[in-house]
Amino acid sequence: MQTLYGIKNCDTVKKARQWLDKSGIVYRFHDFRVDGLTQAQLIDFTARKDWGLLLNRSSTSWRQLSAEQQADLTLEKAIALMLSAPTLIKRPLLDTGDQLIIGFKADHYQTELL
């Protein structure tokens, strides 16, 4: 089963969920704040997608980090930051089993899922 990761009050996540529901695509919703996030999940995500694509550097959470936290990023440091603040992960994140789709664009979902 496909899993959509995100935060329930995120507008982009809401749009993705509406699109999936309207398209009749069965998925499980995983809310980072409610369901949590494990290091193993992040290691899996970063093995399948470049961690630089997963890290949301335009988020409010990123801007709230200190310059020291933002500097000299490595995979390990990025994983630790995303574990401590899951809102640093670009959302939504759709795991189809075969692929990991970052963000939501209706035409991209249409192409990849239907």
Number of helices (H), then strands (E), belonging to the chain: the values are 8, 4
Q: How far is CA 47 from the centre of its chain?
A: 14
Catalytic residue among 10, 65, 83, 85: 10
Do 95 and 89 form a contact (C-beta atoms < 8 A)?
A: no
86 preceded by a cis bond (ω within 30 of 0): no
Do 28 and 35 form a contact (C-beta atoms < 8 A)?
A: no
Annotated catalytic residue 10: yes
Q: Mind telling me the catalytic residues?
A: 10
